[in-house]
Structure 1
């Protein structure tokens, strides 16, 4: 398969951003997020009766994206400092590509090394090297199918914000005025978590991940298998485990078993899990609230204590502590100092050589499969992460809409070899089944 870039251009908001909105303030959480990109990728099959004129569709996508930038004006901005974004309509990148095969042919294969070619900005890129806060890419297949990708600087957006921005772009393309009203962005993060003026130029990141290409594997957990897994995860402290907790715990357990077998030593482990805090704030914020409204909690277990229900209990206990403390900590007067110490403590644990650490993020329940550009629902949604950070677990919904979960896991070569052959894992997960079969 060959993907050829056929056009690159800068798109600006279709209406100038008012002067009163041009100094956009980041929130405290935005300030603390590393300047990397978050990418979303949606694949749409060709619909009978629709147009297969890629030029016509591309022009429509460009116009609707410019209209979307009018509402999401920070995505077309430039950095002033670690507090302010200059929203003077510098623009966002639009990329067009042609793919010399049918969408079904691509989705039936099992090697995903080319996924990155559908993404306009690679996750490990920096703002300085790219020159844009956001970019989109439309890749047109020979059959009329299309892949739509959006990359946004993480300092401006988390996964929930990316979902809102893509949904707004889709309904603007589709021309559904009623739907567009439901995805108008709400900018309140900096009011709730005011930014702090502190010097960061040249400061090293809290955690300096080693950049190395690592194996990234795809697993699918069917709803019926998750139900059986949840039954095993029940304990006195957690009577009703969630699907995401149960899947996370099983992957954590099997990854730990692989690490222990390879090292020959039983070491403690921590798992850092991302949490959407929109519903944890008082009063709760709606889903269209823009920014990094996300926090992190740390679960810890010794490698000798890896029963599934024990791992789920640890995840739930630490989530409760997070719910009780983290949002309050962000809103106190010395929030920056408190959060920095919290993150430094987590980073110190992560960098310990006598401990295995894992990072888990979940994009479940963000309704990516409801995003319709006028071509119906996407046949597959995935994220643009690449295997450059070890021990990463990423969860998404599947296209079935029945509670099934797709997981992407990044481990070392040695650990992955044992992990993907673990009988307990394979009792509940299918290893890289065809997208068209899930």
Structure 2
């Protein structure tokens, strides 16, 4: 299918903030939570089929292009307004020290796709999905020239896909979704100007850096966050609501009688990865599951509840060499215990030096091969399916996984979970045939 579908970028421009950033906000110091993030882009794709018309005649195609032009103008205008509120997103990154908030702007690309959107949704192909994004998620800001890039993709049926790439050192999932929600609200018309009461106060951007200042240890290229250069294979699995209910029943125990959706899905993924690793190496290596935590309501400080930027850490759960440790009940218990240990150890948040030493230690273990490290970022419960720019809510929201990080997102009904992950080819071959996984998840089912 990939060879049949062509995505052609037909226009690119830079969108500046609607109002210039005040001089006293021109430099934003990074926090240690910004610093330790890898140099990658958070990728997100939102699909909006044209529900009004399925006619692909030449006349209708002309109408589609006209409608796309109108929507593109609306997206650019509202993006400009959103950049006034999220002013660092229009700046330039100064390596692991600060963001120069100079109103450089965000990139906005327009592309046309030579097929109806239904062709993508019937059989999602990650190689095609990559082309709908404005940049590769493994790009650096120096390569792209922007912290935020947007690509509006017009399908021949009139459907639209919006690809958004946000530099991870400027935003975590919470901040990215907050920005997208603001942008969509501005486009929809629920916020009419950049001076109303919905304005995100500029000084909020400095809170994380004041609580956890940057460290000199992270200031130079070559910080201890590295990725494998081996060829990876990407897959998508969907756990529907009924299978998750069955998983909850199977994984429940006296220790965790009511496991959550994310806990049971994480446990079955972890178990399948452990089995794949054991099959590859011939023995069971110790492994750790790192679940990313939004610290905004875990710091014990009201001032952090809605701060933008990066404010995430992780809770770690560990298995050793005992076979009994890889049963679902045991793994769910370990995941729950990891959260409890984080709360006990860090009632008032995580210190900067501890962040650096932990990252350094994990990187050392990973490079030596002593430990399998799996990192999971859950976007579940973020209101991405509420993103209405003025022409309805998205039919599908998805992401593009990158090395060593797995994404969990809600299905459209809010009850199921989608998994996107990339693994080395030989590991993926074993993982995707896991009986435990396939009992509860479907491999790349149709979206429509």
TM-score by length of 2: 0.89
Q: Equivalent residues in 2 for 1:102-121 (5 A)?
A: 102-121=116-135
Return the alpha-carbon distance in structure 2 between the equivalents of residues 306 and 361 of structure 1. 21
* Match in the other structure for 1:336: 352
Aligned CA-pair RMSD: 2.3
Q: Which residue of 2 aligns with 1:29?
A: 33
CA distance in 1, matches of 2:239, 2:422: 17
Q: How many residues align?
A: 428
Match in the other structure for 1:280: 298
- Which position in structure 1 is the counterpart of 2:410? 397
Residues 179-218 of structure 1: matches in 2 within 5 Å? 184=200, 186-187=204-205, 189-190=207-208, 193-198=211-216, 200-218=218-236
Q: Please, which runs of 5 or more residues in structure 1 have no aligned partner?
A: none
Aligned to 2:56: none
Aligned partner (choices 352, 358, 361) of residue 374 of structure 2: 358
Q: Which SS does the other structure have where 1:150 is aligned?
A: strand
1:294 and 2:286 matched: no
Contact kept, 8 Å, 1:397 with 1:406, in 2: the verdict is yes
Match of 1:407 among 391, 416, 419: 419
Q: Which of 170-179 and 99-108 deviates more?
A: 170-179
Specify whether residues 197 and 241 from structure 1 end up closer, same or farther in structure 2 by C-alpha distance, changes over 3 A only.
closer
**Mapped partners of 1:287, 1:117: distance in 2:** 35
Tell me which residue corresponds to 2:50.
46
Contact 2:272 2:431 in 1 (8 A): yes
Distance change >3 Å, CA 327–CA 62, structure 1 → 2: farther
Structure 1 375/288 Cα, relative in aligned 2: closer, same or farther at 3 Å? farther
Distance in 2, Cα, partners of 1:2 & 1:78? 31
CA contact under 8 A between 1:25 and 1:190: conserved in structure 2?
Answer: no
- In the TM superposition, residue 288 of structure 1 has moved relative to its aligned partner by 4.4
Cα separation, 1, equivalents of 2:142 and 2:349: 32
Cα distance, 1:248 vs structure 2? 0.5
Residue 251 of structure 1 is aligned with which of 230, 252, 269? 269
CA contact (8 A) 1:275 1:294 kept: yes
How far apart, CA to CA, are the structure 1 residues paired with 2:343 and 2:425? 36
Question: Is 2:86 the counterpart of 1:72?
Answer: yes
Deviations 1:195-251 (A, max 9, x none): 235154544231322223311111110111111111121222212211101000101
C-alpha separation in 1, matches of 2:139 and 2:95: 19
* CA spacing shift, 1:255–1:328, aligned 2, 3 Å: same
CA deviation after TM superposition for structure 1 residue 39, in Å = 1.5
Within 2, Cα distance between the matches of 1:417 and 1:107? 24
Measure how far apart 1:291 and its partner are.
0.9
Q: Is the 8 A contact 1:219 1:408 kept in 2?
A: yes
1:144 CA displacement: 1.1
Give the conservation status (yes or no) of the 8 Å contact 1:83–1:195.
Answer: no
Q: Match of 1:127?
A: 141
CA distance in 1, matches of 2:307, 2:248: 31
8 Å Cα contact 2:300/2:347 also seen in 1: no
Is the Cα–Cα contact under 8 Å of residues 221 and 429 in structure 1 kept in the other structure? yes
Aligned residue in 1 for 2:99: 85
Does residue 224 (structure 1) correspond to residue 242 (structure 2)? The answer is yes
> Is 1:236 the equivalent of 2:254?
yes
Checking the alignment, whether the CA contact within 8 Å between 2:35 and 2:218 is kept in structure 1 is no
Question: Compared with structure 1, are the counterparts of its residues 275 and 183 closer, same or farther at alpha carbon in structure 2 (3 Å cutoff)?
Answer: farther
CA pair 16-408 structure 1, distance change in 2 beyond 3 A: same
State the TM-score, normalizing by the size of structure 1: 0.91
Residue 269 of structure 1 corresponds to: 287
Is residue 441 of structure 2 the alignment partner of residue 421 of structure 1? no
Confirm or deny: 8 A CA contact 2:39 2:168 kept in the other structure: yes
Q: Which of the numbers 369, 382, 392 marks the counterpart of 1:376?
A: 392
Q: Relative to structure 2, which stretch is displaced further, 371-380 or 175-184?
A: 175-184
SS in 2 for 1:107: helix
- In the alignment, the residues of structure 1 paired with residue 446 and residue 199 of structure 2 have an alpha-carbon distance, to the nearest angstrom, of 32
Structure 1 equivalent of residue 327 of structure 2: 307
Equivalent residue in structure 1 for 2:339, among 294, 306, 319: 319
- Offset, 1:327: 6.0
Q: How far apart, in 2, do the equivalents of 1:92 and 1:83 lie?
A: 20
Inter-CA distance 62–163: structure 2 relative to 1 (3 Å threshold)? same
d(CA) in 1 for partners of 2:225, 2:190: 44
Distance 1:35 1:421, change over 3 A: closer
